[in-house]
Structure 1
């Protein structure tokens, strides 16, 4: 059932994959089917705790044509803002949840001659919905999953890594993947996709560019994860309300915590839906949407990831 743009669902299954990873399966609350999801799609999951509400974006790991249920895989992280802890520690089978309709900002390039998928840790999740699509198209692809040595078997289990082109690499602390070896000497028309820690995605992009890859052949997916910063205050010019933004809180979370329905979609600074006009203050831009010129102008801010370099910001909102 779809109400106010939300999908009403309930938790049908919770599976522990490792000490820190769980797979959650959701089914429609009133039966029937969910909308078809594009490959690489994510949903916003609304989590209602006793003291606050979270809206977190998670990649669907189910195939795009899987409509009787959706599934996500979530890591419980020590420095979570609360969403992963709520999912791991509080959510139970039978609980009701609200999901957004699936959206994809990380599509498969339809004209690519070959696809190289590079994931780090839980960044594997969007590629789990890529694989059946690439296989059905008979597309040439490689998937390289980088993870801690003690999680190699967990990710092999998710991937069925006996399949051709699937590689799970255990990387110890301080080790760096040899990305140049993966990206050099690829056929013309190859595209690379990366999702995972910021450092890995930056390294993939820098390596590809250094090898002469064109920008349109390099794709990345981010769901935020930026560190916080100094607290600041945001004032909403239309109402005059002033809201404190904590050191480990995003601007978007601060607005939502005060009951303000601010626009959002990806929550990772990649889509531009959350951009709001900036009237006063110095922004700390952390998004991947605004151009360098737009960031220098300082007229817009992506509330889901960006912060303030000044003590206050004033938004035209």
Structure 2
């Protein structure tokens, strides 16, 4: 069921312009107390003004709890969160964030970790590299970006302790990642992790299937809401019996909020935080979240109403 987030206040202690579109924010408690512990691949929810909130991967060293660091890309079609962070947050600003949660951790059974990042998708791997440093399990990071000025934190990767394990691919220079060649050299105990734009994630997943790599060995994360796909359907709020029409291109939570039919908590609105998880009473859902496991999705017990939809023409939920 939904993760029980606790929210706490932090102060921005440093802001770094990593690329023209990406900033790195360093966060710490104003009272100097340590931050909650986390593992590589974890994210936090950042609450901002005007009801905005976004999920961001922690990119700092899990062994250093004096601070957190997050990387934020200014999105061209921002819902407001990335624009807020880039335009209104500065050193000294106060933010409210959640305790960390991890949906993208390293698999402890893997005999090798193969990490594939695209653009801002590099951030969760930076914390994971700290975890892997000095360990016995081999690892490699493949980082692809459009041009040299789009590769955030590449200097840190090329000059740091992981340099021998990192490969950079720059589209504008004709250096592109060859996924079939990469898969061909992997052992049966290797696990693949990918974070970045949806086309990259899809290519990695489809390529792995074609190479005969089991789904359980492929892990992905993307902090971007899946567009609401599918036709209109009737939504029934089980507690009141009220019926709503969820139109094509609309989310369940939007339909509920448009008429103030129920009070629903939802921190991320991207299917990653789990706070809007709601029980299904009748019907089945088409799941578009990253929070539920494949087994939980197949059980049709709950859904994330911020991104998921009805599989049929009618859905009854426990609200």
User: Where on the TM-score scale, by shorter chain, does this alignment land: which range?
Assistant: 0.7 to 0.9
> How far is 1:110 from its partner?
1.9
Over aligned residue pairs, what C-alpha RMSD do you find? 3.5
Q: Report the secondary structure of 1:84's partner residue.
A: helix
User: How many angstroms apart in 1 are the aligned matches of 2:174 and 2:276?
Assistant: 35
In the alignment, which of 291, 305, 308 is matched to residue 306 of structure 1?
308
Query: Is 1:122 the counterpart of 2:120 in the alignment?
Result: yes
Assess if the C-alpha contact under 8 Å between 1:161 and 1:168 holds in 2. Answer: no
User: How many angstroms apart in 2 are the aligned matches of 1:294 and 1:108?
Assistant: 22
User: How many angstroms apart in 1 are the aligned matches of 2:15 and 2:236?
Assistant: 41
Q: 1:250 to 1:54 in 2, by over 3 A?
A: farther
Of residues 157-166 and 169-178 in structure 1, the stretch that sits farther from structure 2 once superposed is 169-178
Which residue of structure 2 aligns with residue 188 of structure 1? 188
Which residue of structure 1 aligns with residue 38 of structure 2? 37
TM-score (norm 1): 0.82
Query: Is 1:226 the counterpart of 2:226 in the alignment?
Result: yes
Which residue of structure 1 aligns with residue 57 of structure 2? 59
Q: Report the secondary structure of 2:134's partner residue.
A: helix
User: How many angstroms apart in 2 are the aligned matches of 1:10 and 1:110?
Assistant: 34
TM-score (norm 2): 0.81
Q: 1:137 to 1:254 in 2, by over 3 A?
A: farther
User: How many angstroms apart in 2 are the aligned matches of 1:240 and 1:151?
Assistant: 54
Assess if the C-alpha contact under 8 Å between 1:224 and 1:305 holds in 2. Answer: no
> How far is 1:47 from its partner?
1.1
Q: 1:174 to 1:197 in 2, by over 3 A?
A: farther
In the alignment, which of 276, 279, 286 is matched to residue 278 of structure 2?
276
User: How many angstroms apart in 1 are the aligned matches of 2:23 and 2:136?
Assistant: 31
Counterparts of 1:199-214 in structure 2 under 5 Å? 199-214=199-214
| Residue segments in structure 1 that go unaligned for 5+ positions in a row | none
Counterparts of 1:144-293 in structure 2 under 5 Å? 144-151=142-149, 153-160=151-158, 163-171=163-171, 177-228=177-228, 236-239=237-240, 250-252=251-253, 260-262=263-265, 268-269=270-271, 274-279=276-281, 283-288=285-290, 289=292, 291=294
May I ask how many residue pairs the two structures share in their alignment?
309
| Residue segments in structure 2 that go unaligned for 5+ positions in a row | none
User: How many angstroms apart in 1 are the aligned matches of 2:29 and 2:218?
Assistant: 35
Assess if the C-alpha contact under 8 Å between 1:252 and 1:262 holds in 2. Answer: no
Assess if the C-alpha contact under 8 Å between 2:119 and 2:151 holds in 1. Answer: no
Which residue of structure 1 aligns with residue 99 of structure 2? 101
Assess if the C-alpha contact under 8 Å between 1:155 and 1:168 holds in 2. Answer: no
> How far is 1:44 from its partner?
0.9
